[in-house]
Structure 1
Amino acid sequence: MPTYTLTAFERDGEKLLDETFEAANDEEAKKIGEQKLRERGCWDKTHRCVNAGGKLILFHR
């Protein structure tokens, strides 16, 4: 299964979340990433999710 990395940051650059997870495809990874961000209270923070090749799957600034 492909690996994805999810990160979230405060405006000052402090890293709030840095997690790697597996998903069957990019669409599933986007859903998992959104769920993890909401659970950890980071949905409204700057965040991104990328696949192992560096493709941006999810982004918010």
Structure 2
Amino acid sequence: MRNYTLTVFNRSGEKLLDETYTAASDDEAKEIGTAKLEEGGYLEYTHRCVTPEAKLILFHR
């Protein structure tokens, strides 16, 4: 299992969410991250999810 970090920002740049979670693969991490965004109502906010090596796997601006 690896740790992934999901961060959400509002238009002024303030962090609305900064959460780390574990997943077995990048694909699973995308699914979990997308579910967390949907659950929090953050899909249309600027967001990113990165791997432990700082590889961007989810991004919306």
TM-score (normalised: structure 1):
0.98
Measure the CA separation in 1 of the matches of 2:42 and 2:16: 8
Pairs within 5 Å for 1:45-60 = 45-60=45-60
Q: Which runs of 5 or more structure 1 residues have no equivalent in the other structure?
A: none
- Matched length: 61
- Aligned position for 1:21: 21
Q: Which runs of 5 or more structure 2 residues have no equivalent in the other structure?
A: none
User: Matched residues, percent identical?
Assistant: 64
Q: Are residue 33 (structure 1) and residue 33 (structure 2) matched?
A: yes
RMSD of aligned residue pairs (Cα, Å): 0.4
- 1:55, CA displacement in angstroms? 0.3
TM-score (normalised: structure 2):
0.98
1:2-51 Cα shifts (integer Å, max 9, x gaps): 10000000010010100000000000000000000010111100000001
